[in-house]
């Protein structure tokens, strides 16, 4: 089973709203990722959690706040977003451990629209 789930599938929010994206995996993976993908572009890495600790923050604005409550869950808290933040937000997970075969599996994504 290589399933990563994400909720919600779609989210529309105003610039003053606070919302959260959720991601879950039950594959025993120890690394989890947030990516942002704009239309016709490849995914861009935002954050990496390894063994529940934030290991990479790709200089993402503070209006995006990640959280890893446990090894199966990953949240992305959103506050005061801008219209240009509208995109497909992808969660991924991998076994972790730095092995060269560390394959990332993606969830279905959350389509975010900021009005």
Partner 1 sequence: QKEVEQNSGPLSVPEGAIASLNCTYSDRGSQSFFWYRQYSGKSPELIMFIYSNGDKEDGRFTAQLNKASQYVSLLIRDSQPSDSATYLCAVIGQAAGNKLTFGGGTRVLVKP
Nearer to partner 1, 82 or 103 (CB): 103
Beta pairing partners, 22: 7, 75
Half-sphere exposure in the Cβ direction for 48 (13 Å, CA): 15
Interface pattern 45-84 for partner 1 (x via CB under 8 A):
x--x-------x----------------------------
Site for partner 1 (CB under 8 A): which residue of 1, 53, 62, 100?
A: 100
How many Å apart are CA 97 and CA 107, to the nearest integer? 20
How many Å apart are CA 8 and CA 1, to the nearest integer? 21
Site for partner 1 (CB under 8 A): which residue of 18, 26, 38, 41?
A: 41
Which among 18-26, 37-45, 62-70, 79-87 is the span making contact with partner 1, rule CB under 8 A? 37-45
Provide CB contacts within 8 A for 2, sequence distance 6+: 27, 105
Site size for partner 1, by CB under 8 A?
21
């Amino acid at each position: 089973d290589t399933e990563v789930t994400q909720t919600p599938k779609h989210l529309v929010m105003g610039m003053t709203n606070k919302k959260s994206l959720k991601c879950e995996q039950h594959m025993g993976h120890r690394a989890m990722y947030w990516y942002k993908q704009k239309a016709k572009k490849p995914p861009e890495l935002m954050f990496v959690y390894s063994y529940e600790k934030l290991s990479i923050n790709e200089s993402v604005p503070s209006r995006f706040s990640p959280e890893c409550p446990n090894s199966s869950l990953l949240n992305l808290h959103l506050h005061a977003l801008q219209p240009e933040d509208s995109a497909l937000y992808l969660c991924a997970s991998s076994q972790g451990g730095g092995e060269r075969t560390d394959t990332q599996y993606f969830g279905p994504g959350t389509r975010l629209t900021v009005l």
